Amino acid sequence: MNILITGGAGFIGSHVVRHLVTKYPNYNIFNLDVLTYAGNLENLKDIQSADNYTFLKVDITDEQSINRLFIKHKFTGVIHLAAESHVDRSIKEPLAFAKTNILGTIVLLNAFKSLWQNNWEGKRFYHVSTDEVYGSLGKTGLFTETTSYDPNSPYSASKASSDHFVRAYGETYGMPYVISNCSNNYGPNHFPEKLIPLFINNIINNKALPVYGDGLFTRDWLYVKDHAVAIDLAFHKGENGETYNIGGFNEWTNIDLVKILCTLMDDKLGRKEGTSLKLITYVKDRPGHDLRYAIDASKINKKLGWRPSVTFEEGLKKTIDWYLENKEWLNNITSGDYQEYYNNQYN
Ligand code: NAD
Ligand code: DAU
């Protein structure tokens, strides 16, 4: 089986690649990634010489190269994660999100269709999406697989559009597909522009912790390795044409999460309790900021037997340990272009 994983050098993609390369030695796993600022081959150092692993540095919007690779390697399965993924960047540069997330997805769908359209048996296009396509919840309720799409940011609008295209290729051309919509991931290798790794890095460096608005926005957090397991399961055992919501059953307001992170970090760094809390700084809110996301993951739980394996406290401790043990990874990322992004976003 030749499986193509797109975006495998990124945060979630690298965990999916490692999981599949290790678990399925009889699969050939191809990791296709153009290595944007978010892609980092250091994430995959430990498996880069595995016999069943190949890296391809290609842009998913490069139609010619993508078509050539599909013909050459005859991918029977695609697990599509490549995307521009940060909401704040999408507010500043919506077009980049439309290009990669919408056009890039269509290029992949076309290449898969051209290769297999008279022979769909045993093939599958797996699209990794987000709970943000459902928009914002009020204080109660959960997103289910039948919740209407109502995206609010350029990022979530581009992901919603890509989901619709995947579904449309299923309806129109009979392409076998599965979509999963997941909540906020956290864990090792998370780029320090997102809340948890940004705040871990800032606490290490005694820098301000910029909490948007009143800090009462709520997210549902899932340990990234549990997401990788869910993707493996839904890719192999999910039903064609189905969507699976994946979440952590784990809702936190940002401010409560940040306070726990401060306490755990003070402990790990040997600082007096309360030291990092003093770094909390309320800053201007994100435009169009969604109030609350929360996933009802009962379908994947009942149909495929999946549930998260670690508690939030365990996951956070593992994550903090990873960042403290991988300072070189963090330093390599936070030097250079990152400083410019940081100054533009926060100063
Ligand atoms: P990420 O930003 O860490 O990684 C994205 C990867 O895609 C990078 O390696 C980047 O180099 C690559 N990429 C970007 N543009 C590309 C292009 N044009 N061609 C080839 N490769 C390209 O993202 P992530 O957080 O790991 O998210 C992965 C996927 O999961 C995305 O589709 C995202 O929408 C989805 N998702 C993320 C979360 C989350 O909490 N991070 C939650 C639910 C769903
Ligand atoms: O829900 C899934 C989504 O989760 C994924 O699809 C996205 O790719 C991923 O980036 C994430 O989106 P969020 O916008 O929820 O994640 P982020 O880490 O950027 O922000 C989490 C919350 O923290 C959000 O309410 C905004 C707030 N925040 C974020 C940053 C970066 C702050 O208060 N301060 C910050 O500096």
Closest C-alpha among 210, 203, 220, 193 to residue 320:
203
CA distance 337 to 37: 8
Ligand 2, atom nearest to 153 Cα: 14
Q: Is the pTM of this model over 0.95?
A: yes
Whether residue 146 is contained in a domain is answered as yes
Which of the residues 53, 155, 223, 293 is marked catalytic? Answer: 155
**CATH number of the CATH domain containing 182:** 3.40.50.720
| Residue 12 near ligand 2, beta carbon < 6 Å | no
Q: What are phi and psi of 306, to 5 degrees?
A: -90, 140
Predicted local distance difference test score (pLDDT) of residue 268:
97
Predicted local distance difference test score (pLDDT) of residue 242:
98
Whether residue 174 is contained in a domain is answered as yes
pLDDT digits (tens, 9 = 90+) for 287-309: 999 999 999 999 999 999 999 99
Predicted local distance difference test score (pLDDT) of residue 347:
84
CA distance 129 to 118: 27
Whether residue 199 is contained in a domain is answered as no
Predicted local distance difference test score (pLDDT) of residue 215:
98
Ligand nearest to the CA of 163: 1
Predicted local distance difference test score (pLDDT) of residue 307:
97
Q: Which residues of the chain have a pLDDT value below 50?
A: none
100 neighbors 83 (Cβ within 8 angstroms) = yes
* Residue 346 annotated as catalytic: no
CA distance 157 to 171: 21
Ligand nearest to the CA of 40: 1
Which of the residues 131, 163, 251, 290 is marked catalytic? Answer: 131
* Pairing mode, strands 218-223 and 251-253: antiparallel
* Residue 239 annotated as catalytic: no
Closest C-alpha among 267, 255, 265, 96 to residue 197:
265
Ligand 1 centre to CA of 14 (Å) is 10
pLDDT digits (tens, 9 = 90+) for 16-66: 999 999 999 999 999 999 999 999 999 999 999 999 999 999 999 999 999
Whether residue 103 is contained in a domain is answered as yes
Predicted local distance difference test score (pLDDT) of residue 336:
84
Whether residue 119 is contained in a domain is answered as yes
Ligand nearest to the CA of 5: 1
Whether residue 303 is contained in a domain is answered as yes
Give how many domains the chain has, as a whole number: 1
Whether residue 135 is contained in a domain is answered as yes
What are the E-state strand segments in the chain? 2-6, 28-32, 53-56, 77-80, 124-130, 177-182, 184-186, 209-212, 218-223, 242-246, 251-253, 280-283
Closest C-alpha among 246, 151, 279, 258 to residue 196:
258
Q: Which of 12, 245, 300 to mutate to test the pocket of ligand 1 (most atoms within 8 A of CB)?
A: 12
* Residue 132 annotated as catalytic: yes
Residue 95's domain comprises 2-190+221-250+291-309
| Residue 81 near ligand 1, beta carbon < 6 Å | yes
- Counting every residue written for the chain, the total comes to 347
Whether residue 320 is contained in a domain is answered as no
Predicted local distance difference test score (pLDDT) of residue 335:
87
58 neighbors 66 (Cβ within 8 angstroms) = yes
| Residue 219 near ligand 2, beta carbon < 6 Å | yes
